[in-house]
Structure 1
Amino acid sequence: METASVVAEGRERRSVTRPASVVPEGRERRPLDRPCEIRVVRTDAGFDALEDSWNLLLRDADVSVFQTFEWLRAWWRHFGKDRKLHCLVFTEDGRTVGIAPMFQRPVRVAGLRIATRLRFIGCGISDYLDVIMARGYEESVLKALARYLRLHPEEWDIFEIIDVNERSPVFRTLPGLLREEGIDVYSYQGSACPYTVLPDTWEEFRRHIGQKMRYHLKRKKEKLSERFRWEIEIVRSPADDIDQAVREFIGIHEQRWKGLGFRSAFDDETHRAFHFEVSRKLAERDWLRLFFLKVDGRRVAVSFDFNFGRRIHVYLSHAHGPDEIMKLSPGLLIRFMAIERGIAEGMRVYDLLRGDEAYKYEELKCKRSENWLLRGVDRSRSSRIRFRLFLARELITKSAERLRREYYEFKRFRVTKEPSVITSLAFARSRCALAYKVGRTYVQRFVGGHGRATESDAGFQG
């Protein structure tokens, strides 16, 4: 048996025991007498003090750009209002081997607190959430996390991580460890994240996409060259005008979505401020890639990418311009040009992140990976009552959000398809059927019992 210490800011040290972790084959076995300490960081100053050890840990962890200190610290600065920091830092023999960046937030109904929710920093606008763990320490860290949750029920009523990818040890290992500690786990398949593996050369990639797509891409570029002057601009370093580039990206995004009848996420000033800050921070680390397609002096398409860990994270990609330009598929062209540049930089994966749009498979022959929502609840009677109250509130809130989403989907359909009355009614009926199916699955999953739900829809992930 190993000894694990739990140290919280302002709290007495306490010791517990946990089983020794299993060391993966081919990795060096660590001495079994090394203690695993868990330190709880609750202040902004404590968060800032983690930067150096956080960056050291990232060098030996399999994570995305959404687990970097730059991304999550900016998120906490802009979205952390009315939340309490609860960041767990795992150390062995003085070395940081894991970080679970979380926060607490009360769940209220009519002003009364019904539960405390323990969630991960970055939720909502981060395409992947995860526990940051050094390679070879994954099971040790996750066992310590599960044990911590059991020993500190006063800190939480609902433990939740959304958008954890199926590749993550958190998805594969943590649910079983939580159940061993007496915590029920509910899992729900949410968004899909299509990706394609990049070869060593651009020519190999051109062969991968097939003859039809190669011809289509060639013809679009030829027609663009015949009719307009165009060029590709790349904004990536602090020497570039980052703020102006982000403003133009937001402008293209807003025009595109509002033109389709949707609201823009950037209507919210906090959302805008976050993206300005995080873009500057990522540029300082040479992780930012803002690609623009400029036609006759006007930026008409953008791919807002992050190159991290030899993986291109395609955060947002949009195009908006006159009809004669849009007919030449500027969004398609900017994506392929970003891929060509990424291959030249040694990137190995082109990750289109959340969203199961057909073009991702048609253009790039992507593979599909899945993100999941995991929720943990203690088996005590009071905890289960709180959880059911939370679910009732959640169902009402998510139903309203789903109805709003379907309203905008219908507006987009009317704008882009110009359908007849019969076609419009058929579309509305199909979307209502989908919403009903998702809602029924949600109720069955969380109210009716345990196991997994596999209905893929991020609209009920919350």
Structure 2
Amino acid sequence: MASLGPAPAVLTRPDPVAPAPAVTVCTDSAEFGRLREEWNRLHRACAAATPFQSHAWLHSWWLSYGRPGRLRVVLVRQEGRLVAAAPLMLRPLPFPTLTPLGTEISDFSDVLVEDAPAASPSRAVDALRAGLWRLARTAVVDFREVRPGSTVEALYARWPGPRRRLDDSPCLELPALPMDELVGRLPRPRAQRARAKLRKLDALGIERRVVPAADVDESVRRLLDLHRLQWQDRKVTTEHVRPRFAEHLTRAVAQMARTGDAVVTEFTLDGSVVAADLTFLSPRLAGGYLYGAHPQLRERKVDVATMLLRSCAEHLQGGSRDSVLSLLRGTEPYKLHWRPEHRVNQRYLLARHATAPLIGAVLADVRARSWAKRARTAWKERGAGPG
């Protein structure tokens, strides 16, 4: 654990009573693992946090995807109490960047800061910013997929050096309402079709069961088997069928189910599990992360998306009034049928004057990728490309 020492005066607000927060950087995987209990407490104390910032998710991701020597977890302690954390890793290529752990397979990234009274300035945010400021001497800090309202926004607002904000992935959200009220928000013809689909689900006798935390390991493996079966001979997210993803998901969700950050639901028909769904939960949102469904459901014209949406809505009942049913990243047509609210994740780039050119390099890379994507789309639309 490397100590960063006291924060520079330009980045902190002096307090005549409380001692200055201690800022350190964890670079050791085993040490990161031992943070679980205090990380879980901090995670619960940060209202903006999502399950993607839980210790179980991040540490498991690091074990499956991390590279030795690249871990950079900034920790802020006030009189020994963990009050803020930024889980990052160093990516040296194509240019030095510090990115959140889990970015590739996480729908949201953020930092954790213990909620403070609204009237008082957050010393923890200032100290966390000071730690990132030091790390930014040789790399640009690149926060991808930041959900609107996340804690990173406070860091960005107070960042003293070069910075840039970009749009990232689009997301869709529904209010936390019972299924009959979600259906009632639809235009009448579409609502009638949705009710007919729900009646068919009930008539078929498909039963829903929330898997106990003790049985989640086996259920996640079954979900992944169904997911592979569902997408066989069809285009699928490549990472979702790799062994390292299965290893990570099984390990992480087993822990997350025990802390209430995840729930696995199975659907049975004639005594056999025909579908399974993994939903992530937090006080402010619930979102279906991954599911698997047997092809026989398609053959029987079962609307799996409607079945899963109803199940996810049930997980939210009794939650806070400002919670939402998140459809996570992507604007697939089946999501748009429910008249969701469009939200756009943000990308925040933070640098110092010495590393400001790296922001330009990132922006150039973003433009190049965007141009290449448009070119591929146009090529396919002209019928000259594959697919």
Distance 1:276 1:169, change over 3 A: closer
Q: Helix, strand or coil for the counterpart of 2:286? A: strand
Does the 8 Å contact 1:292/1:334 carry over to 2? no
Does the 8 Å contact 1:301/1:334 carry over to 2? no
Does the 8 Å contact 1:291/1:302 carry over to 2? yes
Distance 1:215 1:80, change over 3 A: same
Q: Helix, strand or coil for the counterpart of 2:30? A: helix
**Alignment RMSD:** 3.6
Q: Does 1:125 align with 2:125?
A: no
Q: Does 1:222 align with 2:165?
A: no
Measured after TM superposition, the shift of residue 350 of structure 1 is 1.3
Aligned residues: 382
Q: Does 1:194 align with 2:186?
A: no
Deviations 1:186-215 (A, max 9, x none): 22101122122224x665555445654543
Deviations 1:8-53 (A, max 9, x none): 62x584553246669xxxxxxx866441221111212321232222
Does the 8 Å contact 2:297/2:304 carry over to 1? no
Does the 8 Å contact 1:236/1:287 carry over to 2? no
**Whole-angstrom CA distance in 2 between matches of 1:346 and 1:153:** 37
Q: Does 1:174 align with 2:155?
A: yes
Deviations 1:130-186 (A, max 9, x none): 1101112774333333333444554x3211110111211322x323322x2xx2112
Does the 8 Å contact 2:162/2:352 carry over to 1? yes
Q: Helix, strand or coil for the counterpart of 1:369? A: strand
Aligned to 1:329: 303
One-letter code aligned to 1:72: L
Aligned to 1:308: 282
Consecutive unaligned residues in structure 1, runs of 5 or more: 1-7, 23-29, 109-114, 411-423, 432-462
Measured after TM superposition, the shift of residue 277 of structure 1 is 0.7
Measured after TM superposition, the shift of residue 273 of structure 1 is 0.7
**Whole-angstrom CA distance in 1 between matches of 2:363 and 2:11:** 34
Aligned to 2:39: 54
Q: Does 1:140 align with 2:115?
A: no
Distance 1:251 1:189, change over 3 A: same
**Whole-angstrom CA distance in 2 between matches of 1:197 and 1:20:** 39
Deviations 1:46-66 (A, max 9, x none): 212322221221232120111
**Whole-angstrom CA distance in 2 between matches of 1:119 and 1:262:** 25
Equivalences for residues 200-211 of structure 1 within 5 A: 204-209=181-186, 211=188
Q: Does 1:361 align with 2:331?
A: no
Measured after TM superposition, the shift of residue 427 of structure 1 is 11
One-letter code aligned to 1:425: R
Deviations 1:429-457 (A, max 9, x none): 9x9xxxxxxxxxxxxxxxxxxxxxxxxxx
One-letter code aligned to 1:98: A
One-letter code aligned to 2:278: F
Does the 8 Å contact 1:120/1:161 carry over to 2? yes
**Whole-angstrom CA distance in 1 between matches of 2:341 and 2:371:** 32
Q: Does 1:164 align with 2:156?
A: no
**Whole-angstrom CA distance in 2 between matches of 1:45 and 1:58:** 19
**TM-score using structure 1 length:** 0.71
Equivalences for residues 363-378 of structure 1 within 5 A: 363=338, 365-378=339-352
Does the 8 Å contact 2:197/2:306 carry over to 1? no
Distance 1:165 1:323, change over 3 A: closer
Greater Cα shift, 123-132 or 202-211:
202-211
**Whole-angstrom CA distance in 1 between matches of 2:265 and 2:142:** 35
Q: Does 1:104 align with 2:90?
A: yes
**TM-score using structure 2 length:** 0.83
Measured after TM superposition, the shift of residue 68 of structure 1 is 0.9
One-letter code aligned to 1:17: A
Equivalences for residues 216-295 of structure 1 within 5 A: 216-224=193-201, 228-238=204-214, 240=215, 242-262=216-236, 264-295=238-269
**Whole-angstrom CA distance in 2 between matches of 1:302 and 1:322:** 14
**Whole-angstrom CA distance in 2 between matches of 1:216 and 1:427:** 38
Measured after TM superposition, the shift of residue 402 of structure 1 is 4.3
**Whole-angstrom CA distance in 2 between matches of 1:427 and 1:168:** 43
Distance 1:427 1:132, change over 3 A: farther
Does the 8 Å contact 2:5/2:24 carry over to 1? no
Consecutive unaligned residues in structure 2, runs of 5 or more: none
One-letter code aligned to 2:158: L
Indicate the percent of aligned positions where both proteins have the same amino acid.
Answer: 20
Q: Helix, strand or coil for the counterpart of 1:147? A: helix
Does the 8 Å contact 1:197/1:349 carry over to 2? yes
**Whole-angstrom CA distance in 1 between matches of 2:121 and 2:106:** 22
Does the 8 Å contact 1:161/1:374 carry over to 2? yes
Measured after TM superposition, the shift of residue 373 of structure 1 is 1.1
Distance 1:197 1:405, change over 3 A: farther
**Higher Cα radius of gyration:** 1
